[in-house]
């Protein structure tokens, strides 16, 4: 009886969770004129017009391509630098380790609005403005510390006897790390990759500041639908629906890692 009540409550939560997304889907399948004219629970005059516009207009679909490129770069860079650092924090004691760890976390705490201007100056002075790598590097500011934090938790869950045994068996640190250790924490790597992807994908302010046309992400392009006649809700909704898909694909791949234990080392 208790279990039933629990799943009913969960069902209600999921219903409410999906409702705004359903509403956006509904809007995306209607024309703007129809949206404003009649209220309807279902797409009455079903049309794919909005999606066709996005997929045929380069200024729209390149937004998705740009965002995927820099988010991919950011995820790879974040994981590459965070893995050895997280190992150092989880295994070694060194001068300034705790201070360094907290300093890394502080980089998530600055309000982006004013910092965006010096970012613009910095990246234009090194000639990286309007490139994908600029946004990828800028997003490292908050994704690298988070990656170190999460990975350190996973790594601390692996007993140190495993390292010691491997070193006695004659493994060098890099070889041990790549062939034995990373496979042991692959759940952590999967979860970290998801978090990097997510936070880089949804960030707007830095991405918009650092790009002009060549690397402009979809989230910034979406603000264009405001025209003289007001918002084109149908188009905006279709673009919104399409921003969910890449991330949904990523979480589909890491879902088992999620389920198995983010917290392995943190318990």
Partner 1 sequence: MEKWPDNKAWLLVLPVFVIVAFSAIIPLLTVINYSVQDIFGPGQSVFVGVDWFREMLQDYRLREALWRQFLFSGLVLIIEIPLGVLIALAMPKRGWKASAALVTLALPLLIPWNTIGTIWIIFTRPDIGLLGAVINNLLGIPFDHTASPLDAWITVMLMEVWHWTPLVALLAYSGLRAIPEAYYQAARIDGASAWSTFLYVQLPKMRGVLTIAFLLRFMDSFLIYAEPFVLTGGGPGNSTTFLSLYLVKIALLQFDLGPGAAFSLIYFIIVLLFSFIFYQALQRVGKGETV
Residue 69, H or E segment: helix 58-91
The CA distance from 82 to 88, in Å, is: 10
- 1, 94, 227, 229: residue in contact with partner 1 (rule CB under 8 A): 94
Q: Looking only at residues 229 through 248 of this chain, which bind partner 1 when binding is defined by CB under 8 A?
A: 233, 236-237, 239-240, 243-244, 246-248
Of 1, 42, 56, 118, the one binding partner 1 by CB under 8 A = 118
Question: Interaction with partner 1 in 145-174: which residues (CB under 8 A)?
Answer: 145, 148-150, 153, 160
| Alpha helices, DSSP H, located in 157-232 | 160-168, 173-176, 182-184, 186-202, 205-210, 218-221
Give least dist CB 111 to partner 1, A: 5
DSSP β-bridge partners for residue 230: 227
Which residues, other chains included, contact 74 with Cβ-Cβ below 8 Å and sequence gap of 6+? 135, 136, 137, 139, 140, 143, 196, 200
Q: Are 130 and 69 in contact (CB under 8 A)?
A: no
Query: Helix 233-261 vs helix 49-56: angle between axes, to the nearest 10 degrees?
Result: 80
Point out which span in 42-50, 51-59, 178-186, 218-226 binds partner 1 (CB under 8 A): 218-226
Among residues 68, 69, 122, 182, which is the contact residue for partner 1, using CB under 8 A? Answer: 122
Told to check if 58 binds partner 1 by CB under 8 A, we report no
Q: What angle do CA 162, 167, 169 make, to 5 degrees?
A: 95
Per CB under 8 A, which of residues 168..207 are in contact with partner 1?
A: 191, 198, 201-205
Counting contacts by CB under 8 A, is residue 19 touching partner 1?
yes
By the rule CB under 8 A, 265 interacts with partner 1: yes
Query: With CB under 8 A as the contact rule, which of the stretches 43-51, 52-60, 140-148, 178-186 interacts with partner 1?
Result: 140-148
Residue choice 33, 52, 65, 108 for contact with partner 1 (CB under 8 A): 108
127 lines the binding site for partner 1 (CB under 8 A): no
For residues 185 and 178, what is the distance between their CA atoms, to the nearest angstrom? 11
**Does residue 251 interact with partner 1 by CB under 8 A?**
yes
| Single residue of 1, 4, 42, 114 touching partner 1 by CB under 8 A | 114
CA distance 170 to 150: 29
Dihedral angle of Cα 85, 91, 96, 101, to the nearest 10 degrees: 50
Closest separation between CB of residue 178 and partner 1, Å?
Answer: 14
Residue selected from 44, 65, 179, 255 as contacting partner 1 according to rule CB under 8 A: 255
User: Is residue 260 involved in binding partner 1 (CB under 8 A)?
Assistant: yes
């Amino acid at each position: 009886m208790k279990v039933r009540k629990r799943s009913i409550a969960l069902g209600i939560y999921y219903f409410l969770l999906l409702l705004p997304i359903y509403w956006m889907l509904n809007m995306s399948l209607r024309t703007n004129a129809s949206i404003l004219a009649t209220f309807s629970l279902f797409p009455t005059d079903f049309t794919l017009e909005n999606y066709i516009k996005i997929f045929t207009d380069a200024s729209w679909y390149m937004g998705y391509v740009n965002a995927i490129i820099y988010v991919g770069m950011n995820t790879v860079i974040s994981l590459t630098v965070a893995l050895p650092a997280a190992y150092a924090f989880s295994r070694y004691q060194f001068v300034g380790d705790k201070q360094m760890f907290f300093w890394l976390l502080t980089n998530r705490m600055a309000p982006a609005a004013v910092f965006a201007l010096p970012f613009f100056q910095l990246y234009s002075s090194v000639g990286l403005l309007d490139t994908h790598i600029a946004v990828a590097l800028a997003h490292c500011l908050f994704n690298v510390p988070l990656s170190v934090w999460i990975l350190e938790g996973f790594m601390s869950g692996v007993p140190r006897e495993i390292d010691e045994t491997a070193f006695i068996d004659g493994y060098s640190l890099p070889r041990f790390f790549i062939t034995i250790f990373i496979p042991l924490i692959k759940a952590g790597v999967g979860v970290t990759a998801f978090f990097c992807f997510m936070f880089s994908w949804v960030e707007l302010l830095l991405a918009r500041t650092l790009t002009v046309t060549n690397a402009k992400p979809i989230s910034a392009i979406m603000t264009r639908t405001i025209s003289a006649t007001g918002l084109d809700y149908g188009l905006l909704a279709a673009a919104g629906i399409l921003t969910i898909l890449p991330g949904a694909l990523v979480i589909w791949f890491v879902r088992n890692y999620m389920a198995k234990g983010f917290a392995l080392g943190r318990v």
